Amino acid sequence: MDGALIDRRAFAALLAVILMAIVNPLRADEAADHAALLKAEQDWLKATESGNRAVLERLLHPSFVNISPLGGIRNRLESLAAGTPPPGSSQTLTELKVRTYRDAAVVTGVNRYRSNAQSKPTEVVFTDVFIRTPQGWQVVSSHNSIRPPVVQER
């Protein structure tokens, strides 16, 4: 009986080592994907602000579609043709969350937009859907909604 118990323990230990060897690289890949997706979001924001078409072309998949807070729909070409935000405006991404599903990913967050330094920020919540392509992560869909202001109760 003791021999069987030792064999089971040895088997369990070996199985644990094998599983750790398999799982750890997956976690490293997932962390790398999360970092790449967060960078893609920041690159997209900076390229939009500066009008860097080359970066936008790299990030926006040919089938890209954007749903604006007012329900407007723009495809990739229309998004690439959109102008830059007005001078003095600013955007900051917050509350970013990344979920990956092999070669697809969903990034959610809040874009805090100010039309100028003195204006109150408008919070636009978004959901961006990415796919992994030979060119890297590309966004295929973006949906935006204006977050209503928080009403303070008295």
Q: What is the pTM of this model?
A: 0.79
Contact by Cβ (8 Å): 85, 48: yes
90-139: pLDDT as tens digits:
999 999 999 999 999 999 999 999 988 888 989 999 999 999 999 999 99
CA pair distance 19, 14, nearest whole angstrom: 9
For each of the domains in the chain, give its residue range(s) and CATH number, in order of start. 8-146 (3.10.450.50)
Q: What number of CA atoms fall less than 13 Å from residue 133's CA on the CB side?
A: 14
pLDDT for 21 equals 57
